[in-house]
A = this chain, B = another copy of it.
Amino acid sequence: MPAGSCSSDVGAMEINANRADFPILQREINGHPLTYLDNAATTQKPRSVIQAITRFYEQHNANVHRAVHTLSEEATALYEDARAKVARFIGAPSARCIVFTRGTTEAINLVAQSWARAHLTAGNEIVLSEMEHHSNIVPWQMVARETGAAIRYARVTPRGLLDRKHFSSLLNKNTRLVALTHTSNVLGTVNPLRDMISEAHDLGAVVLVDGAQGVPRAPVDVAALDCEFLAFSGHKMLAPTGIGVLYAKEHILASMEPVQGGGGMITRVEEAGAEWMEPPWRFEAGTPNIAGAAALATAVDYLTAIGMAEVQAWEASLTEYALAALDQAPGITVFGPRDSLIQSGVIAFNADGVHPHDAAQILDEVGVAVRGGHHCCQLLMRRLGVPAVLRASFSVYNDQGDVERLIGGLERVARVFR
């Protein structure tokens, strides 16, 4: 069980208890213990989540809906209970607001293809930001090309914050949709969404929040945010790959056409056409990732037992510790806010004169897993003026020891390239 009491002055020992829950942390990489700091790409899974998958296949596996036999009833209950649990986790009023998808990317594409294609026309504007992940850019470019809508990008300041004034200046009565990330997957920047959403609403725009990094790192409450859409991925919050979530306000979901057709989303099929089921099932054509949904519920249980406020505090303390250590390290340039109050669990930096891929490779030689590259944020890279950066990102099982091994690895990088 995860440690339950990680208050803001959380000590390494307390949350350390979590490490034992993650079997992969026993692995050695090139003769060194694994120091996994690539959590913004995907997190590791606790034993309980892995067991939830095994349990599903060893005891309950069946297709969902439409069958009366015991296994199918059990599989359906696991799947639909997962929907309800996810709804509670993000403060959604009902399980009917939750569509299961493959991940954040598919969730955003669903909104682009169903909602946006139906609502946007030439003259309309979509507001994004330069810090968006490609998954929150390319779907809008595709829909913009089809509909003739235009895209405006809110600037990122040199400190790595969203330029709040520039954002406001982009909003106008033609703005139909605003799509923003909760937390930058490169800089860790947390955007002041409540405020921005209400500003967008004042102009009649609909708001999608990309929660891929935010939902795993902080309490996220859709009722408080009041966003129309929230997209996030299971695999970045201790759950398996292949399962993700689109939250949408119920009346909006009810107005949307399905994007994929097939089994499980119709009530009636005639030669000439078909009648859709109600949401959310209308949007889940075909056999879904049932085991993935069941295991996502277990991941939510795991995070809830720790407490998302505690997760947030813990990542803030690690971020502070790491920022201080990186500041001490010679020849390291850190990007982004460098302030754990508005930066959540993700740090971008470079070793001067060393290409991020070379640095990441040398870190890997001592078991430190970080990612180097553009992190699916080429617009942000251009704004930062670099082709690529190194990124260290935390999750619940990381501790100060991981940060120390990172710093040790960076000393090694400097020695190799001295």
Contact, CB under 8 Å: B364 / A69: yes
- Which residues of B have CB within 8 Å of A331? none
Contact, CB under 8 Å: A41 / B63: yes
- Which residues of B have CB within 8 Å of A292? 241-242, 289
- Which residues of B have CB within 8 Å of A135? 261-263, 285-286
Quick check: is A106 within 8 A (CB to CB) of the other chain? Answer: yes
Contact, CB under 8 Å: A260 / B106: yes
**Complex Cα gap A357–B71 (Å):** 15
Query: Closest CB of chain B to A26's CB: distance in Å?
Result: 8
Q: A288-B102, A291-B242 are in contact. Are A141 and B274 (CB under 8 A)?
A: yes
Choose among B24, B59, B113, B137 the residue that contacts A61 (Cβ–Cβ < 8 A): B24
Assembly stoichiometry (copies)? 2
Choose among B49, B142, B286 the residue that contacts A103 (Cβ–Cβ < 8 A): B286
Encode A83-127 as 1/0 by CB contact (under 8 A) with B: 000000000000000000011111011001100000000000000
Nearest chain-B residue to A110 (Cβ)?
Answer: B260
Quick check: is A189 within 8 A (CB to CB) of the other chain? Answer: no
Quick check: is A166 within 8 A (CB to CB) of the other chain? Answer: no
Quick check: is A191 within 8 A (CB to CB) of the other chain? Answer: no
Contact, CB under 8 Å: A41 / B62: yes
Quick check: is A68 within 8 A (CB to CB) of the other chain? Answer: yes
Q: A261-B141, A287-B233, A291-B242 are in contact. Are A373 and B266 (CB under 8 A)?
A: no
Contact, CB under 8 Å: A138 / B289: no
Which residues in window 42-67 of A have CB below 8 A to B?
Answer: 42, 44-45, 49-50, 53-54, 57-59, 61-63, 66-67
Query: Closest CB of chain B to A11's CB: distance in Å?
Result: 28
Query: Closest CB of chain B to A135's CB: distance in Å?
Result: 3
Query: Closest CB of chain B to A362's CB: distance in Å?
Result: 10
Q: A63-B41, A243-B242 are in contact. Are A138 and B376 (CB under 8 A)?
A: no
6 additional contacts (CB under 8 A) given A34-B71, A108-B262, A134-B261: A24-B61, A38-B69, A44-B57, A141-B261, A240-B289, A270-B379
